[in-house]
Amino acid sequence: MPVIRNPILRGFNPDPSILRVGDDYYIATSTFEYHPAVRLHHSTDLVHWTTIGHALDLDLRGVPDSGGVWAPSLSHADGLFWLAYSIVRTMDGDDKDIDNYLVTAPSITGPWSEPVHLGSRGFDFSFFHDTDGTHWIVGVQWDHRPEHASFSGLVLEQYLPDERRTTGEAAVIYREDGLVEGPNLYRIGDWYHLLIAAGGTGWNHGITAARSRHLLGPYERDPQEAVLTTRDAPGHPLQKAGHGELVQTPDGHWVLAHLASRPTLHLGERYSTLGRETCLQRVEFDGDGWLRLVGGGHHAHVEVRVGAPDGGTDAAAGMREWTEEFDAPRLDDRRWSTLRAALPSPVADLAARPGWLRLRGGHSPGSVFDQSMILTRAEEHRTEFEVLLDAEPGTVREAAGLIAWYDRAGWIWLQVGFDPEHGRHARVVRRDGSATARSSPIAVPPGPLRLRASLDGPALIFAVSGAEGEWMPVPGVHPAWTLSDDHGPPLRFTGLFFGVRADDLDSRGWTVDVERASLRSTPAAAS
């Protein structure tokens, strides 16, 4: 019997929305401020998954860190794929400016329609297609008034596809004192089942359920505290388990897709540097009709058996590595992401120097507009990322190099820069909140340079060399644990990326050429 090894989507892949159409399974995951938006994944057996691309080419310049595209909802009705998503444009204190949209397509690969605006009532909206042919959206209603609970209930509103609009009338179908979000509605037999994310998306996260005989309720809360959670098991390898969706297999079994995090430890504290990842669990309905994990309990399983004996092969759990030679006509967006918007061809040029990527320098790491940086997800706590670049900065306003990136307030950069005293040199520059620290300059040989970052749990170590020389360790062990959801006071929802960037703070057209990038990661189970 084949075995799912969780997480099935490793690294930053949160808020999974799962769907089966025929023999094909699809998962859409949140991308927040990263471009392209809404990552799409495919499987035919629930065990082996492939990232097939993204659904949306959006310009998100100006959105805050951890804003952008939240919690996509993937469904299929009337012969079309439906994708609902929220764009969070402001998240300051009690204020959230949120726009909700729907796009449809005849195929998961598009072309996707022009978006339909679904209003700005809240976020985490999903579609429910009832058996009578009506279409509904269920989501969080946000209350900005400081003396009121921000999560003011889960609301249901009808969508009229022929008119490409909602009715404008929403009914509150469920609320409770704690945080409830990420709702998904299912009609199974005579019951409407409401799956709910509860407890926030941190260590207290979980999934609960409610049900009703009637679409508009009232909904009865599951007598069990949680269908799934690890809030009571701080040593469990899959923490923050929650925010889930159901899918039914062709043979009638049910599977729950949910997010979870694999933390690393620093001085006894947990830090989810890899972000929130996607997992699968087998579930069933008990004798009283409530959803439960197969095998009992409410803790996520790392290994899950699916299908019939001899029904396929296990998912691989070994070392993963790749090398990017930049010899294709375009960057592969299944591997590379950018911040908030695509990099146009004058900024990321694969033709100017064949076999190299030419990056034209952009804004500083603090910008929400035009940074020049390509990024790839860190998927394991043991990862090496290496680049070979040709950079000749000529002023203190020009710099390039290898970066470990979380957001504008959290990054560690092995930077190739210049100043009149030291000429071209390397140094480690680190941002933690509003503070920036720079190491002493490090002498580097002339010509192209190899730069390497080695992630080992909470620690990050750099090295540098000439194109053909021996590696020279960069002094210091750097705090990768600060590049996590769990460091600092702001809400943070993404994950650790490695990448290469170029800054030209005077906007004079300075460029850096990158010949090669490679990544090698080793899961803990394979170490």
> Is 181 marked active-site?
yes
- Start-to-end CA distance of the chain, whole Å, equals 25
* Residue type for position 428: V
Cβ-Cβ contacts under 8 Å for 421 (sequence gap 6 or more) = none
> Is 23 marked active-site?
no
Element (H, E) at 19: strand 17-21
Full 3-state SS string of 434-481: CEEEECCCEECCCCCEEEEEEEECCEEEEEEEECCCCCEECCCCEEHH
How many angstroms from the chain centroid is the CA of residue 305?
A: 25
Distance between CA atoms of residues 273 and 496, nearest Å? 6
343 near 374, Cβ under 8 Å? Answer: yes
Q: What share of the chain is helix, strand, coil (3-state, %, to 5)?
A: 0, 50, 45
Cβ-Cβ contacts under 8 Å for 62 (sequence gap 6 or more) = 89, 340, 368, 369
Question: What are the backbone angles phi and psi of residue 66, rounded to the nearest 5°?
Answer: 65, 10
Q: Is the dihedral of CA 264, 292, 122, 151 positive or negative?
A: negative
Cβ-Cβ contacts under 8 Å for 64 (sequence gap 6 or more) = 33, 88, 90, 91, 92, 368
Count how many Cα atoms sit within 13 Å of the Cα of residue 258 in the half-sphere of its side chain: 35
Residue position matching structure tokens 């600060």: 482
From 33, 65, 157, 181, active-site residue: 181
Cβ-Cβ contacts under 8 Å for 17 (sequence gap 6 or more) = 27, 28, 29, 71, 72, 73, 74, 126, 245, 257
Strands (E), 201-355: 206-212, 220-221, 228-229, 239-248, 254-261, 264-266, 269-271, 277-285, 291-293, 303-305, 320-324, 338-339, 348-349
Query: CA dihedral in degrees (57, 367, 89, 117; nearest 10)?
Result: -20
Cα–Cα distances (Å) from 312 to 7, 215, 348, in that order, read 18, 39, 41
From 15, 384, 398, 504, active-site residue: 15
Residue positions annotated with a catalytic role = 15, 181
